[in-house]
């Protein structure tokens, strides 16, 4: 199957990152979100990111060449021209199912629909469509332009042909696929990562160590780019909270249950960079000011 036109539903942190790497790889991309303001902000971020990569010689072409391949819209109608759709909206089953039902109606019969869910089983999303065999999971990691891994998830009804097509597309945009054979909540890497994040929060709750020292220790001791609290602030505490709950509800394993401190921060709206406060405090430009008080 030849893939030329890509539609990205969602222009947040993940959706804009996916749209960017597809445009960088030479694909024609349409990115959709609910408001012009969201799209304008995303385009500004993408242009800045592309500029940095071009400046460092890490991508071919000019900024204008790459940005010319990326269009934006508040309408789902352009999905009618798509060969492949990446969904990257809120981590909520009802919202994803509603979107996939619409995409299934609009998209051409050959189109593949992929979800960037980090925790919801692909099969539960695919069930609302008439093309179960053409629905697949493609879980990217943040920041998308820099992180190489992508989990390719085979739902219960996903065809091998669809998995192969998703694998080949992800390789063509510079990613290293990890094939997931059984569709479980949390997939694989989050099933490994969530218990460590839960433990990190509990260590802060009990006063054993600070947010800053745990992040520093993880960066220096485990050679990670970011610590668990820095990562949570970037992706959004609400995103992590919902994902943990999804895995907990399927497994009933307490190691996945969101700690009380995380629950309280989400209820207060302390969601990370996007709200100016999460585990750290941020200025209007998103620069870290210091740890948040709690």
Q: What is the pLDDT of residues 24-47, one digit of tens each?
A: 999 999 999 999 999 999 999 999
Q: Which long-range contacts (CB under 8 A, 24 or more apart) does 255-264 make?
A: 255/194, 255/195, 255/198, 256/186, 256/194, 256/195, 256/198, 257/198, 258/198, 259/198, 259/201, 259/202, 259/205, 260/205, 261/201, 261/204, 261/205, 261/294, 262/201, 262/237, 264/294
CA–CA separation, 110 and 184 (whole Å): 26
Q: Which of 118, 124, 230, 270 is catalytic?
A: 118
Mean pLDDT confidence for 256-284: 97
Indicate which residue of 42, 49, 116, 190 is catalytic: 190
Other C-beta atoms lying within 10 Å of the C-beta of residue 244: 24
> Could you give the residue range(s) of every CATH 1.10.1040.10 domain in the chain?
190-286
Catalytic one of 91, 124, 151, 230:
151
pTM as predicted: 0.93
CATH class in words for 5-180: alpha beta
Whether 151 is catalytic is: yes
| 131 closest CA partner among 158, 160, 167 | 158
Q: How far apart are CA 210 and CA 294, in angstroms?
A: 11
Asked if residue 293 has pLDDT above 90, the reply is no
> Can you tell me whether residue 60 is helix, strand or coil?
coil
> Does residue 270 have an active-site annotation?
no
Determine whether domain 190-286 maps to CATH 1.10.1040.10: yes
pLDDT at 285 over 90: no
* CA dist 59 → 22, 131, 166, 185 (Å): 12, 35, 22, 34
CA 20/CA 130 separation, integer angstroms: 29
What is the band of 246 on the pLDDT scale with cuts at 50, 70, 90? very high
Query: What's the distance, CA 204 to chain centroid?
Result: 26
Model confidence at 1, in pLDDT bands (50, 70, 90)?
confident
260 pLDDT above the threshold of 90: yes
119 given a catalytic annotation: no
* pLDDT at res. 173: 98
Average pLDDT over residues 155-160: 98
**Cα–Cα dist 236/265, whole Å:** 11
Pairing of strands 5-9, 84-87: parallel
Sign, CA torsion 125/131/132/133: negative
Bridge partner list, 73: 32
Asked about 139 being catalytic, the answer comes back as yes
Q: For every residue of 110-158, which 3-state class applies, written as one string?
A: CCEEEECCCCCCHHHHHCCCCCHHHEEEEEECCCCCCCCEEEEECCCCC
Residue range(s) in the chain whose domain bears CATH number 3.40.50.720: 5-180
- The average pLDDT across 196-221 equals 97
Going from the C-alpha of 140 to that of each of 19, 86, 259, the distances in angstroms are 12, 11, 25
Annotated catalytic residue: which of 5, 16, 124, 139? 139
Closest CA to 72 of 14, 16, 30, 24: 30
pLDDT at residue number 46:
97
* pLDDT digits 0-9 by tens, 5-26: 999 999 999 999 999 999 999 9
Q: How confident is the model at residue 254 (pLDDT cuts 50, 70, 90)?
A: very high
């Amino acid at each position: 199957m030849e893939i030329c036109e890509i539609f990205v539903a969602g222009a947040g942190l993940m959706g804009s990152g996916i749209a960017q790497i597809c445009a960088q790889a030479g694909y024609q991309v349409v990115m959709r979100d609910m408001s012009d303001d969201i799209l304008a902000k995303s385009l500004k971020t993408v242009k800045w990111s592309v500029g940095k990569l071009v400046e460092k010689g890490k991508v071919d072409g000019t900024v204008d060449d790459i940005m010319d391949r990326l269009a934006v819209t508040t309408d789902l109608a352009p999905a009618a021209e798509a060969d492949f759709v990446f969904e990257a909206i809120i981590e909520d089953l009802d919202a994803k199912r509603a979107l996939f039902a619409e995409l299934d109606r609009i998209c051409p019969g050959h189109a593949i629909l992929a979800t960037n869910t980090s925790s919801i089983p692909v099969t539960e999303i695919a069930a609302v469509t008439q093309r179960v065999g053409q629905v697949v999971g493609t879980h990217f990691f943040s920041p998308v332009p820099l992180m190489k891994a992508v989990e390719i998830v085979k739902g219960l009804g996903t065809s091998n042909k669809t998995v192969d097509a998703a694998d080949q597309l992800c390789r063509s945009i510079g990613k290293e696929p990890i094939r997931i054979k059984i569709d479980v909540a949390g997939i694989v890497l989050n099933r490994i990562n969530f218990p460590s994040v839960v433990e990190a929060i509990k260590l802060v709750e009990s006063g054993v160590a600070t947010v800053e020292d745990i992040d520093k220790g993880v960066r220096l001791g485990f050679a990670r780019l970011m610590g668990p609290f820095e990562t949570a602030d970037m992706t959004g505490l609400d995103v992590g909270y919902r994902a943990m709950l999804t895995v907990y509800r399927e497994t009933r394993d307490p190691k996945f249950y969101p700690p009380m401190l995380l629950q309280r921060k989400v209820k207060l709206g302390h969601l990370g960079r996007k709200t100016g406060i999460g585990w750290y405090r941020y200025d209007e430009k998103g620069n870290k000011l210091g740890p948040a008080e709690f």
